[in-house]
Structure 1
Amino acid sequence: MPGPHLHFEVYPDVDSITDAAEAVATSQLALPQDACDEVYALTAYAGSAENLAAVGSLDDDNVFGDDGGALQVGTLTGGGQGGGPGDAPGGMPSGGPPDDGGTAA
């Protein structure tokens, strides 16, 4: 069972987002352990810290375990109370999937 993560799809344009077959990329982004620990310490998430501890680390994860999430862990700024923006590692296809002539951004 993976730790907290987001699934996402990339589409070539806004008109394509209603058709999953038009996705040019699909992936997952793991959330950093320290951010999860901070948020799950809030009373609004009672019990979540124990659930996260039972999951273990990304090294043991069935999705991110091949590299411990090194290429799929985002960075977050802000704090548990107010949130904030984040960044995703790696590149995204630009101009279509790489096998159709697109290039990694």
Structure 2
Amino acid sequence: MDHRGGIADGETRREVAERVYSSVNTIISRPCPAQVIVTHGFALTFVIAAWIKMPIESVGHVSFPARSGSITHLKEDDYWQNRAVVSLADVSHLTDDDG
């Protein structure tokens, strides 16, 4: 989580995770019934981890890979406030229906 990958000023995975967690918390605090977050595949792991309230210390042990253009659906239950990953990296909208 704290390796810079040979780039002196590059962010560590922990720094990226902290930045993404902060952004996700800001986004979900808004009083909106639905929101869209657009991100790179690498950062998607941190978006999902923040959504399910995974501790940052554990994020180095998880990965949610996604294809470009894919859609991940996250939902919070209105009653219990349980957070779910309804679909992960769905690409069915990218199929060629013209044959």
The two structures have a TM-score, normalised by structure 2, of: 0.27
Higher strand share: 1
Higher helix share: 2
